[in-house]
Amino acid sequence: MNRRFHTVAVLMGGSSSERDISMLSGTAVAGALREAGYRVFAVEVDAQDAFALPPEVEAVFIALHGTFGEDGGVQKVLRRLGVPYTGSDAASSRISFDKLLAREAFQAGGVRVPDGAVVRSDAIAGAAPPWLPVVVKPPCQGSSVGVSIVKDAAAFPAALAEAAKYGETILLEAYIPGREWTVPIVGEQVLPIVEITPKIGDGWYDWTAKYQSGGTTVYTFPEGDPANAAIAREVRAQALAAFKAVRARGVARVDFRISPEGVPYALELNSIPGCTANSILPKSAAKAGIAFPALCERILESAQCI
Protein backbone atom coordinates (compact mmCIF):
# COMPACT_ATOMS: atom_id res chain seq x y z
CA MET A 1 0.00 0.00 0.00
CA ASN A 2 1.26 3.47 -0.91
CA ARG A 3 1.24 5.28 2.43
CA ARG A 4 -0.05 8.81 2.79
CA PHE A 5 0.71 9.04 6.52
CA HIS A 6 3.66 8.15 8.74
CA THR A 7 3.03 9.77 12.13
CA VAL A 8 -0.47 9.22 13.49
CA ALA A 9 -2.57 9.39 16.64
CA VAL A 10 -5.10 6.90 17.97
CA LEU A 11 -7.88 8.57 19.98
CA MET A 12 -9.40 6.49 22.80
CA GLY A 13 -11.23 6.89 26.10
CA GLY A 14 -13.69 9.77 26.33
CA SER A 15 -16.68 10.34 28.57
CA SER A 16 -19.19 7.79 27.26
CA SER A 17 -20.50 4.65 28.89
CA GLU A 18 -18.21 2.75 26.51
CA ARG A 19 -14.98 4.38 27.70
CA ASP A 20 -13.40 1.14 28.95
CA ILE A 21 -14.08 -0.66 25.67
CA SER A 22 -12.69 2.32 23.76
CA MET A 23 -9.47 2.08 25.74
CA LEU A 24 -9.15 -1.59 24.81
CA SER A 25 -9.88 -0.88 21.13
CA GLY A 26 -7.48 2.05 21.00
CA THR A 27 -4.66 0.15 22.68
CA ALA A 28 -5.08 -2.73 20.23
CA VAL A 29 -5.16 -0.42 17.20
CA ALA A 30 -2.10 1.54 18.38
CA GLY A 31 -0.16 -1.69 18.78
CA ALA A 32 -1.22 -2.93 15.34
CA LEU A 33 -0.24 0.32 13.62
CA ARG A 34 3.15 0.27 15.33
CA GLU A 35 3.59 -3.29 14.11
CA ALA A 36 2.72 -2.06 10.61
CA GLY A 37 5.55 0.50 10.84
CA TYR A 38 3.80 3.74 11.79
CA ARG A 39 4.95 6.19 14.43
CA VAL A 40 1.95 6.18 16.77
CA PHE A 41 0.80 8.44 19.58
CA ALA A 42 -1.85 6.88 21.82
CA VAL A 43 -3.97 9.89 22.83
CA GLU A 44 -6.41 9.47 25.71
CA VAL A 45 -9.50 11.68 25.54
CA ASP A 46 -10.42 12.75 29.06
CA ALA A 47 -13.75 12.63 30.88
CA GLN A 48 -14.63 16.09 29.51
CA ASP A 49 -13.94 14.93 25.93
CA ALA A 50 -10.83 17.08 25.73
CA PHE A 51 -7.58 16.03 24.08
CA ALA A 52 -4.39 17.45 22.60
CA LEU A 53 -2.71 16.17 19.46
CA PRO A 54 1.08 16.30 19.11
CA PRO A 55 1.91 18.83 16.36
CA GLU A 56 3.61 16.23 14.14
CA VAL A 57 0.48 14.06 13.83
CA GLU A 58 -0.61 13.69 10.19
CA ALA A 59 -3.84 11.71 10.70
CA VAL A 60 -6.05 10.34 13.45
CA PHE A 61 -7.48 6.87 13.89
CA ILE A 62 -10.70 7.31 15.90
CA ALA A 63 -11.23 4.47 18.40
CA LEU A 64 -13.78 6.38 20.49
CA HIS A 65 -16.99 4.43 21.02
CA GLY A 66 -20.25 6.01 22.11
CA THR A 67 -20.94 9.71 22.52
CA PHE A 68 -18.40 12.21 21.17
CA GLY A 69 -16.75 9.47 19.10
CA GLU A 70 -19.67 8.04 17.14
CA ASP A 71 -22.14 10.93 17.23
CA GLY A 72 -20.09 13.37 15.16
CA GLY A 73 -18.56 15.34 18.02
CA VAL A 74 -14.89 14.48 17.57
CA GLN A 75 -15.23 14.63 13.78
CA LYS A 76 -16.27 18.27 14.03
CA VAL A 77 -13.22 19.03 16.20
CA LEU A 78 -10.80 17.28 13.86
CA ARG A 79 -12.31 18.99 10.82
CA ARG A 80 -11.77 22.38 12.48
CA LEU A 81 -8.17 21.37 13.20
CA GLY A 82 -7.71 20.32 9.59
CA VAL A 83 -6.53 16.82 10.53
CA PRO A 84 -7.61 13.80 8.43
CA TYR A 85 -9.51 11.19 10.46
CA THR A 86 -10.84 7.70 9.94
CA GLY A 87 -14.45 6.74 9.38
CA SER A 88 -17.56 8.70 8.57
CA ASP A 89 -17.92 12.47 8.67
CA ALA A 90 -19.83 14.33 11.38
CA ALA A 91 -23.19 14.38 9.59
CA SER A 92 -23.13 10.68 8.74
CA SER A 93 -21.94 9.77 12.24
CA ARG A 94 -24.82 11.69 13.81
CA ILE A 95 -27.35 9.77 11.71
CA SER A 96 -25.78 6.38 12.37
CA PHE A 97 -25.52 6.98 16.11
CA ASP A 98 -29.16 8.00 16.50
CA LYS A 99 -31.14 4.81 15.89
CA LEU A 100 -34.25 6.84 15.04
CA LEU A 101 -32.47 8.74 12.26
CA ALA A 102 -30.75 5.58 11.09
CA ARG A 103 -34.07 3.73 10.82
CA GLU A 104 -35.44 6.54 8.65
CA ALA A 105 -32.37 6.50 6.43
CA PHE A 106 -32.45 2.71 6.11
CA GLN A 107 -36.10 2.72 5.09
CA ALA A 108 -35.51 5.49 2.56
CA GLY A 109 -32.68 3.38 1.14
CA GLY A 110 -34.85 0.29 0.80
CA VAL A 111 -33.42 -1.52 3.83
CA ARG A 112 -35.89 -3.58 5.89
CA VAL A 113 -36.16 -2.76 9.62
CA PRO A 114 -38.35 -4.20 12.42
CA ASP A 115 -41.67 -2.55 13.21
CA GLY A 116 -40.99 0.26 15.65
CA ALA A 117 -42.45 3.06 17.74
CA VAL A 118 -41.02 6.05 19.56
CA VAL A 119 -42.24 6.94 23.06
CA ARG A 120 -41.36 9.31 25.86
CA SER A 121 -40.65 7.71 29.20
CA ASP A 122 -42.85 10.19 31.06
CA ALA A 123 -45.81 9.70 28.73
CA ILE A 124 -46.09 5.93 28.68
CA ALA A 125 -45.45 4.86 32.27
CA GLY A 126 -47.72 1.95 33.08
CA ALA A 127 -48.92 1.50 29.50
CA ALA A 128 -48.90 -1.90 27.84
CA PRO A 129 -46.15 -2.56 25.26
CA PRO A 130 -47.26 -2.49 21.61
CA TRP A 131 -45.84 -5.95 20.90
CA LEU A 132 -44.48 -8.88 22.85
CA PRO A 133 -41.69 -9.63 22.85
CA VAL A 134 -40.52 -6.04 22.41
CA VAL A 135 -37.01 -4.57 22.43
CA VAL A 136 -36.73 -1.39 24.51
CA LYS A 137 -33.66 0.70 23.77
CA PRO A 138 -32.27 4.22 24.15
CA PRO A 139 -31.70 5.59 20.64
CA CYS A 140 -28.22 6.97 21.28
CA GLN A 141 -26.20 4.32 23.09
CA GLY A 142 -24.03 1.48 21.89
CA SER A 143 -22.80 -1.90 23.17
CA SER A 144 -26.38 -2.79 24.15
CA VAL A 145 -26.28 -0.24 26.99
CA GLY A 146 -29.79 0.32 28.37
CA VAL A 147 -31.37 -2.30 26.10
CA SER A 148 -33.95 -4.81 27.35
CA ILE A 149 -35.95 -7.56 25.68
CA VAL A 150 -39.39 -7.62 27.29
CA LYS A 151 -41.25 -10.91 27.03
CA ASP A 152 -43.74 -10.26 29.84
CA ALA A 153 -45.81 -7.06 30.07
CA ALA A 154 -45.04 -6.88 33.79
CA ALA A 155 -41.38 -6.23 32.95
CA PHE A 156 -42.15 -3.33 30.62
CA PRO A 157 -42.03 -0.47 33.20
CA ALA A 158 -38.61 -1.57 34.47
CA ALA A 159 -37.29 -1.75 30.90
CA LEU A 160 -38.58 1.76 30.22
CA ALA A 161 -36.93 3.02 33.39
CA GLU A 162 -33.61 1.46 32.39
CA ALA A 163 -33.71 3.01 28.90
CA ALA A 164 -34.82 6.36 30.35
CA LYS A 165 -31.51 6.62 32.23
CA TYR A 166 -30.00 7.59 28.87
CA GLY A 167 -32.65 10.04 27.63
CA GLU A 168 -36.38 10.74 27.61
CA THR A 169 -36.94 9.36 24.11
CA ILE A 170 -37.13 5.58 23.85
CA LEU A 171 -37.28 3.33 20.80
CA LEU A 172 -39.49 0.24 20.86
CA GLU A 173 -38.93 -2.41 18.21
CA ALA A 174 -40.68 -5.69 17.58
CA TYR A 175 -38.35 -8.49 18.65
CA ILE A 176 -37.25 -10.62 15.71
CA PRO A 177 -36.61 -14.22 16.79
CA GLY A 178 -34.03 -16.19 14.91
CA ARG A 179 -30.37 -15.61 14.18
CA GLU A 180 -27.97 -12.71 14.74
CA TRP A 181 -25.77 -11.81 11.77
CA THR A 182 -23.42 -8.86 11.43
CA VAL A 183 -21.64 -7.52 8.37
CA PRO A 184 -18.39 -5.52 8.55
CA ILE A 185 -17.58 -3.18 5.67
CA VAL A 186 -14.19 -1.60 4.94
CA GLY A 187 -14.13 0.98 2.18
CA GLU A 188 -17.00 -0.47 0.20
CA GLN A 189 -15.74 -4.05 0.54
CA VAL A 190 -18.26 -6.24 2.34
CA LEU A 191 -16.27 -8.61 4.54
CA PRO A 192 -17.43 -12.11 5.56
CA ILE A 193 -20.71 -12.23 7.49
CA VAL A 194 -20.36 -13.29 11.12
CA GLU A 195 -23.11 -15.17 12.97
CA ILE A 196 -23.24 -14.55 16.71
CA THR A 197 -24.56 -17.20 19.08
CA PRO A 198 -24.43 -16.21 22.77
CA LYS A 199 -24.42 -19.16 25.16
CA ILE A 200 -25.05 -17.25 28.37
CA GLY A 201 -27.93 -15.27 29.86
CA ASP A 202 -31.06 -15.11 27.73
CA GLY A 203 -29.20 -15.96 24.55
CA TRP A 204 -29.07 -12.43 23.15
CA TYR A 205 -26.00 -10.40 22.41
CA ASP A 206 -25.95 -8.03 25.37
CA TRP A 207 -23.01 -6.22 26.96
CA THR A 208 -21.93 -9.29 28.93
CA ALA A 209 -22.01 -11.54 25.87
CA LYS A 210 -19.95 -8.98 23.94
CA TYR A 211 -17.21 -8.35 26.48
CA GLN A 212 -17.39 -10.81 29.39
CA SER A 213 -18.50 -14.04 27.76
CA GLY A 214 -15.31 -15.89 28.65
CA GLY A 215 -15.39 -17.62 25.30
CA THR A 216 -18.99 -18.76 25.56
CA THR A 217 -20.22 -16.56 22.71
CA VAL A 218 -19.74 -18.51 19.49
CA TYR A 219 -18.79 -16.71 16.26
CA THR A 220 -19.24 -18.57 12.97
CA PHE A 221 -19.28 -17.74 9.27
CA PRO A 222 -22.67 -18.72 7.81
CA GLU A 223 -21.64 -18.17 4.19
CA GLY A 224 -19.74 -21.45 4.37
CA ASP A 225 -23.06 -23.33 4.41
CA PRO A 226 -24.72 -23.56 0.96
CA ALA A 227 -28.11 -23.52 2.68
CA ASN A 228 -27.42 -19.89 3.66
CA ALA A 229 -26.38 -18.72 0.19
CA ALA A 230 -29.58 -16.91 -0.81
CA ILE A 231 -30.02 -15.21 2.58
CA ALA A 232 -26.35 -14.22 2.65
CA ARG A 233 -26.58 -12.56 -0.75
CA GLU A 234 -29.54 -10.48 0.43
CA VAL A 235 -27.88 -9.58 3.72
CA ARG A 236 -24.69 -8.45 1.97
CA ALA A 237 -26.74 -6.28 -0.42
CA GLN A 238 -28.80 -4.85 2.45
CA ALA A 239 -25.66 -4.09 4.45
CA LEU A 240 -24.11 -2.15 1.60
CA ALA A 241 -27.42 -0.33 1.01
CA ALA A 242 -27.51 0.64 4.71
CA PHE A 243 -23.88 1.85 4.49
CA LYS A 244 -24.76 4.05 1.54
CA ALA A 245 -28.08 5.20 3.03
CA VAL A 246 -26.33 6.93 5.94
CA ARG A 247 -23.41 8.00 3.69
CA ALA A 248 -20.92 6.09 5.81
CA ARG A 249 -17.25 6.10 4.89
CA GLY A 250 -14.15 4.06 5.63
CA VAL A 251 -15.45 1.40 7.99
CA ALA A 252 -18.71 0.24 9.57
CA ARG A 253 -20.56 -2.82 10.82
CA VAL A 254 -24.25 -3.45 10.09
CA ASP A 255 -26.20 -5.67 12.50
CA PHE A 256 -29.12 -7.87 11.44
CA ARG A 257 -31.66 -10.28 12.85
CA ILE A 258 -32.63 -13.13 10.53
CA SER A 259 -36.17 -14.38 11.14
CA PRO A 260 -36.97 -18.13 11.17
CA GLU A 261 -38.41 -17.58 7.67
CA GLY A 262 -35.03 -16.29 6.47
CA VAL A 263 -36.01 -12.60 6.29
CA PRO A 264 -33.25 -10.14 7.33
CA TYR A 265 -34.01 -7.03 9.39
CA ALA A 266 -31.36 -4.34 9.88
CA LEU A 267 -30.99 -3.16 13.46
CA GLU A 268 -28.24 -0.55 13.31
CA LEU A 269 -25.00 0.60 11.72
CA ASN A 270 -21.99 0.96 13.99
CA SER A 271 -19.70 3.58 12.46
CA ILE A 272 -16.73 2.80 14.76
CA PRO A 273 -16.71 -0.97 15.22
CA GLY A 274 -14.81 -2.39 18.17
CA CYS A 275 -11.24 -3.56 17.76
CA THR A 276 -10.74 -5.45 21.02
CA ALA A 277 -9.57 -9.05 21.26
CA ASN A 278 -13.24 -10.15 21.18
CA SER A 279 -14.37 -7.78 18.43
CA ILE A 280 -16.11 -8.95 15.30
CA LEU A 281 -14.42 -6.72 12.71
CA PRO A 282 -10.95 -8.30 13.18
CA LYS A 283 -12.49 -11.80 13.14
CA SER A 284 -14.23 -11.11 9.84
CA ALA A 285 -11.13 -9.51 8.33
CA ALA A 286 -9.03 -12.51 9.33
CA LYS A 287 -11.52 -14.80 7.61
CA ALA A 288 -10.97 -12.70 4.46
CA GLY A 289 -7.21 -13.11 4.84
CA ILE A 290 -6.58 -9.59 6.21
CA ALA A 291 -4.32 -9.56 9.28
CA PHE A 292 -5.11 -7.07 12.03
CA PRO A 293 -2.19 -4.69 11.32
CA ALA A 294 -3.13 -4.65 7.62
CA LEU A 295 -6.78 -4.00 8.52
CA CYS A 296 -5.83 -1.04 10.72
CA GLU A 297 -3.52 0.29 8.02
CA ARG A 298 -6.27 0.07 5.40
CA ILE A 299 -8.69 1.98 7.62
CA LEU A 300 -6.06 4.59 8.55
CA GLU A 301 -5.02 5.24 4.97
CA SER A 302 -8.65 6.01 4.07
CA ALA A 303 -8.63 8.98 6.49
CA GLN A 304 -9.95 12.28 5.20
CA CYS A 305 -10.73 15.72 6.61
CA ILE A 306 -14.30 16.38 5.53
Active site residues: 18, 143, 211, 253, 255, 268, 270, 274
The Cα 43–Cα 51 span in angstroms is 7
The Cα 158–Cα 174 span in angstroms is 18
> CA geometry: angle at 189 spanning 99 and 209, to 5°?
50
The Cα 88–Cα 102 span in angstroms is 14
The Cα 112–Cα 104 span in angstroms is 10
Q: How many residues does the chain have?
A: 306
β-sheet bridge partners, residue 116: 173
Question: What is the DSSP code (8-state) at residue 189?
Answer: E
| Residue-wise burial string across 61-99, b where 16 or more C-beta atoms lie within 10 A, e elsewhere | bbbbbbbbbbbbbbbbbbbeeebbbbbbbbebbbbbbbb
3 state SS for 140-151: CCCCCCCCEEEC
The Cα 246–Cα 92 span in angstroms is 6
Which residues, 6 or more positions from 139, have their beta carbon under 8 angstroms from its beta carbon?
98, 99, 100, 167, 169, 170, 171
Nearest to 64 by CA among 9, 119, 111, 136: 9
